A = this chain, B = another copy of it.
């Protein structure tokens, strides 16, 4: 990561954490449920979605305040719910996540399912408790439901599981990842643009950047699965091969996957160049692409 990203992270990560903590601390609910939710929320995620949202807002000259922090935090709640459910024995059956036992390994399957349900449901409460104008709140909450739901992330997970053991085409694999990973990252960047109050054209550009970022993220993840160890990853390495998952590496080989990653990053850079031409300083967003150095 470059210096600007590091500075940005150091500044806003604590505020994202605080917003999550304040919200969870303030709502009523069963103590065991809140504990299970907090466990996964605090399990050391990199907060890429909230950070990318706030960075998009910043790049478009918007102001980061309590409202935007709540939208950012709600995004992390949705992401965390998806990880808890994806890790369940009936799904990917993962024991490790971010270097720690997965939620159901600690709290049992029932509470893990309910912790996920709670994080998802209450993410909407958090967005809808902002002091933003109601038009914007509706748009932000609706777009989140579309990114996370049947038109996006949930369908992506279904496609991912249905595709196991089958050889998907590159096109199908892209579609799968656009839904599973891209939709929420596109939403993150889009939400930043919506909060900045820019026009629809620019909102669409940010969405596009987020989608390419999501694809890069997934290809990078596929590459790491074969090049890193379980300890380095904080999750079980080599699982993709064992489970005959459709990955860029399986489809294109390691060199091919690296090439595809570069092509995707170049698409993302092109979008940022467009935004620069519209008069914005996107250095910070460019910095986030350095995450994918291999």
A residues contacting B by CB (< 8 A) are 27-30, 32-34, 37, 85, 88, 90-91, 108-111, 113-114, 116-118, 120-122, 124-125, 128-129, 133-135, 137-138, 141-142, 144-146, 148-151, 154-155, 157-159, 161-162
In the bound complex, CA of A149 to CA of B34 (Å): 11
Q: Which residue of B lies closest to A149 (CB)?
A: B121
Q: Is the CB of A149 within 8 A of B113?
A: no
Q: Is the CB of B162 within 8 A of A32?
A: yes
Task: Give the contacting residue for A30; candidates B33, B91, B110, B155; CB below 8 A.
Answer: B155
In the bound complex, CA of A200 to CA of B109 (Å): 40
User: A114 contacts which chain B residues (CB < 8 A)?
Assistant: 85, 154, 157-158
In the bound complex, CA of A34 to CA of B151 (Å): 10
User: A159 contacts which chain B residues (CB < 8 A)?
Assistant: 30
User: A37 contacts which chain B residues (CB < 8 A)?
Assistant: 150
Copies per assembly = 2
User: A162 contacts which chain B residues (CB < 8 A)?
Assistant: 30, 32
CB proximity of A77 to chain B, nearest CB, Å: 10
Task: Give the contacting residue for A90; candidates B29, B32, B108; CB below 8 A.
Answer: B108
Q: Is the CB of B120 within 8 A of A146?
A: no
In the bound complex, CA of A154 to CA of B112 (Å): 12
Given A110-B90, A134-B135, A138-B138, A154:B117 Cβ within 8 A: yes
Q: Is the CB of A155 within 8 A of B113?
A: no
Beyond A124-B142, A124-B145, A129-B142: 10 further Cβ-contacts under 8 Å?
A27-B151, A114-B154, A114-B158, A124-B124, A124-B144, A125-B145, A128-B138, A128-B142, A134-B138, A138-B141
Q: Is the CB of B120 within 8 A of A121?
A: yes
User: A125 contacts which chain B residues (CB < 8 A)?
Assistant: 142, 145-146, 149, 151
In the bound complex, CA of A278 to CA of B234 (Å): 62
CB proximity of A291 to chain B, nearest CB, Å: 27
Residue among A34, A88, A142, A145 with max Cβ neighbours from chain B (10 Å): A145
Q: Which residue of B lies closest to A116 (CB)?
A: B117
In the bound complex, CA of A246 to CA of B33 (Å): 19
